[in-house]
Amino acid sequence: MIKANDPSLTSWVEVQKDSDFPIQNLPFGIVKTDQLKPRVASRIGDQIIDIKSLFILGYLDNLPFALEDFDCSSLNQLMKKGKRATSDLRNRLSKLFSDTNKDLKNNSHHVGQVLIPAEDIEMCMPVEIGDYTDFYSSRDHATNVGTMFRDPNNALLPNWLWIPVGYHGRASSIIPSGVPIKRPKGQIKPSDDADPVFASSKLLDFELEMAFITFDGKPLGDNISTKEAKDYIFGMCIMNDWSARDIQKWEYVPLGPFLAKSFASSISPWIVTMDALEPFAIEGPKQDPKVLSYLEYEGNHHYDINLEVGIQPENAEETIVCKSNYKHMYWNMVQQLAHHTVNGCNIRCGDMMASGTISGPTPESFGSMLEISWRGTKPVKMNNGSERKFIQDNDTVIMRGYCKNEHVRIGFGKVMTKVLPADE
C-alpha cells in the first residue's frame, strides 16, 4: 500500500468529517493571494499547504526537487520529475502533516508561513495544457446519442466497441472553476430546408466528464502499452466540457466537433493524484467483442468516483440534475492512453485527456442536458419552479466529485461556472 493512503492516518490539521481533503488526499494545485505570487500548493481540510514555503524552510530535503519546481504558475515543472518523484513528494507531505510527526507541528512560526486558510486564496489554472484530447468512452452516453439522432436498434456505430473513439480538442480555452463563460455564437441551421444563420447558441449544454493529466511520454514513434500507461498518468480533475448543440449539429459533418466545443472547457482546480485514487480502483465491464490485443489490460483501471451536476439559476437555490459515476466508463484510462499512442503519437507532460460525457444507465445519471431533457422534449423542473431544457443565461453549472469507502472520502472539490449572455 502507498504509505500516504493508510486509512488510519490522522492529521494535526483539523479536517471536517465530510471534507474532500483528508490527509489521504493531498492533491496538487496552483494558488495565489493578493500578497503571494502563484505557487504550487496542496490542501488538507480547509487549509492550503504552501509547498513553495515548505521547500524554502527545508522540509522537502532529499527529494529531487528545486525551488523553481514550486515557485511557478503551473504544475508542469513538478510533473516533469515523473511518477516516482511526485509520489515521494505526496508521501513526504503525508508524513509532515500526520499526527505522529512533530517536525512541523511544533514550530508554530513555520506553520504560520506554510498554512493559509482556503478562503483567503484564489485557485489558478493548475496545468499548462499542451494538447487536449476528448474521448467518447461512456457506452450509455454513446447509446443515448445514437438512439436520439440515428437508430435505436443500432445506436452504437460499428467502430465503438473496438476503438476508444476520440478527437483532438482545444487546449487554449480550458479554464479553471470560477471563470465565467460567454454564451457562444456561430452558424446554426434552424431547419432542414432553411439556410444557416449566425446567432448565439440556444442549446448550450454541459458535459460531465473527468480528465487525466499526463507526465512526459515517450519519443515520437514509440507507443505506451496498457501495462505501462499508469506510470504516465499524474492525476485527475473534473471537467465540464461545454457544448453548443445547435452549432455542433450543423458543423460536425464530416470531421467532427469544432467550434461547438472549442469555446470553453472548465476544470476543477485540484489535481487528485492516481496514488490517492488507488483505493477506489475497481474492475471494469466485460468487453464484448474481445478487444484487440494492444487494448487488453491486467488489473483494475476503472474508478468508483461519485459525480453530480447542479444548476443554480441567478438568485435561486441549486437543483441537482444528475448523479453519475466514473465507474460507468466502458474504456478505461490505460486503454485510452495505449490507443492514443499506438500509432506512434507522442504525448507530453501536461497533456489533458478527457473521458467524454459520463452517463450511467438510468435517466438520473445522464451527464448532459441533451440526454436529461432528451433533446429538449422532457424539460427539467428546477427547485425555483422554472424549467430547463438547456442552460440559460446567468445559470451557474456546478459539478462535484468524490470517492468514498468505509474509511475515507477523497474528493475533487468542484468546478463551478457561470454562463453570461452573449455579446450584443
**Residue with smaller CB distance to Mn ion, 88 or 371:** 371
Please state the closest distance from residue 206 (CB atom) to Mn ion, in A.
Answer: 10
Q: Pick the piece of the chain touching Mn ion (CB under 5 A) from 50-58, 233-241, 246-254, 302-310.
A: 233-241
Number of residues near Mn ion (by CB under 5 A): 3
Please state the closest distance from residue 348 (CB atom) to Mn ion, in A.
Answer: 21
Q: In whole angstroms, give the CA distance from residue 309 to residue 397.
A: 7
**Residue with smaller CB distance to Mn ion, 11 or 324:** 324
Please state the closest distance from residue 320 (CB atom) to Mn ion, in A.
Answer: 21
Q: In whole angstroms, give the CA distance from residue 338 to residue 295.
A: 7
Binding mask 384-413 for Mn ion (x = CB under 5 A): ------------------------------
Three-state SS for the chain is CCHHHCCCCCECCCCCCCCCCCCCCCCEEEEECCCCCCEEEEEECCEEEEHHHHHHCCCCCCCCCCHHHHCCCCCHHHHHCHHHHHHHHHHHHHHHHECCCCCCCCCHHHHHHHEEEHHHCEECCCCCCCCEEEECCEHHHHHHHHHHHCCHHHCCCCCCCCCCCEEECCCCCEEECCCCEECCEEEECCCCCCCCEEEECCCEECEEEEEEEECCCCCCCCCCCHHHHHHHEEEEEEEECCEEHHHHHHHCCCCCCCCCCCCCEEECCCEEEHHHHHHHEECCCCCCCCCCHHHCCCCCCEECCEEEEEEECCCCCCEEEEEEEHHHECCCHHHHHHHHHCCCCCCCCCCEEECCCCCCCCHHHCCEHHHHCCCCCCCEECCCCCEECCCCCCCEEEEEEEEECCCCEEEEEEEEEEEECCCC
Please state the closest distance from residue 134 (CB atom) to Mn ion, in A.
Answer: 4
Are the C-beta atoms of residues 285 and 242 closer than 8 Å to each other?
A: no
Are the C-beta atoms of residues 7 and 22 closer than 8 Å to each other?
A: no
Query: In the annotation, is 407 catalytic?
Result: no
**39 grid coordinates:** 505557487
**Residue with smaller CB distance to Mn ion, 4 or 211:** 211
Q: Pick the piece of the chain touching Mn ion (CB under 5 A) from 108-116, 241-249, 337-345, 382-390.
A: 241-249
**Residue with smaller CB distance to Mn ion, 134 or 140:** 134
**Residue with smaller CB distance to Mn ion, 60 or 175:** 175
Q: Pick the piece of the chain touching Mn ion (CB under 5 A) from 21-29, 206-214, 266-274, 320-328.
A: 206-214
**Residue with smaller CB distance to Mn ion, 166 or 313:** 166
Please state the closest distance from residue 265 (CB atom) to Mn ion, in A.
Answer: 8
Q: Pick the piece of the chain touching Mn ion (CB under 5 A) from 59-67, 118-126, 201-209, 219-227.
A: 201-209
Please state the closest distance from residue 207 (CB atom) to Mn ion, in A.
Answer: 4
Biggest CA–CA distance in the chain, Å, is: 75
Please state the closest distance from residue 82 (CB atom) to Mn ion, in A.
Answer: 28
* Contacting residue, 20, 88, 241, 275, with Mn ion by CB under 5 A: 241
The CA-CA-CA angle for residues 42, 129, 164, to 5°, reads: 105
**Residue with smaller CB distance to Mn ion, 40 or 372:** 372
The identity of residue 140, as a single letter, is D
Contact call for residue 88 and Mn ion (CB under 5 A): no
Are the C-beta atoms of residues 98 and 3 closer than 8 Å to each other?
A: no
Considering 141, 301, 302, 339, which one is annotated as catalytic? 141
**Residue with smaller CB distance to Mn ion, 209 or 275:** 209
* Contacting residue, 207, 251, 308, 371, with Mn ion by CB under 5 A: 207
The residue nearest Mn ion at its CB is 241
Q: Pick the piece of the chain touching Mn ion (CB under 5 A) from 66-74, 146-154, 204-212, 389-397.
A: 204-212
- Nearest CA among 418, 371, 359, 8 for reference residue 177: 418
**Residue with smaller CB distance to Mn ion, 207 or 275:** 207
Q: Pick the piece of the chain touching Mn ion (CB under 5 A) from 235-243, 372-380, 393-401, 404-412.
A: 235-243
Region 122-181 residues binding Mn ion, contact defined as CB under 5 A: 134
> Which residues are near Mn ion by CB under 5 A?
134, 207, 241
Q: Which residues are known catalytic residues? A: 141
